[in-house]
């Protein structure tokens, strides 16, 4: 579904593809905006309606008027749903090896082909993770 179909005024600011992303076992009763503000103003002087998370990447207040950010956004993605962890849950999952933790690159958050991002990020790793990028979606078919 298009961003503009759900969030009035934000559709024109959403990067390609201008759709609302969803996936995984999450509650779909909320939306989260992730945006890049080129130059990464950081915490010192963030634009109204944008809260920095890491460098130039931050969260967008989707209840704010889109015009507040129109001039400064480099890219915007909207995600339906939110999944959270209980106290200590993520740390336990990291210790168990349930997650791959790798460095991101600035363009990852607005990759032009988001369906290929997971494989692209793994492929550029300098470890056995690069090989995982070649695995089929269903490893039992290998």
Taking residues 92-96, report their average pLDDT.
96
Tens of pLDDT, residue by residue over 27-69, are: 777 888 999 888 765 556 788 899 988 888 899 999 999 999 9
Tens of pLDDT, residue by residue over 96-112, are: 999 999 988 878 888 88
- pLDDT greater than 70 at residue 137: yes
Closest by alpha carbon to 58, among 80, 82, 74?
A: 74
Report all structural domains of the chain as residue ranges with CATH numbers, in order of start.
Answer: 1-84 (3.40.1740.10), 86-136 (no CATH)
Task: Give the Å distances, CA to CA, from 61 to 7, 52, 111.
Answer: 12, 11, 22
Burial class (CB in 10 A: 0-12, 13-18, 19+), 76: buried
pTM of the model as a whole: 0.79
């Amino acid at each position: 579904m298009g961003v503009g179909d759900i969030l009035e005024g934000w559709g024109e600011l959403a990067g390609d593809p201008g759709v609302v992303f969803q996936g995984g076992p999450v509650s779909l009763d909320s939306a989260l905006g992730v945006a890049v503000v080129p130059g990464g103003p950081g915490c010192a002087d963030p634009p109204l309606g944008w809260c920095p998370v890491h460098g130039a990447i931050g969260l967008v207040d989707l209840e704010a008027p889109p015009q507040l950010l129109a001039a400064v956004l480099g890219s915007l993605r909207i995600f339906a749903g939110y999944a959270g962890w209980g106290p200590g849950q993520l740390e336990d999952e990291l210790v168990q090896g349930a997650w791959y933790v790798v460095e991101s690159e600035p363009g990852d958050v607005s990759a032009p082909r988001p369906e290929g991002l997971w494989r692209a990020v793994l492929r550029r790793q300098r470890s056995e993770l690069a090989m995982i990028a070649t695995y089929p979606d269903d490893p039992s078919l290998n």
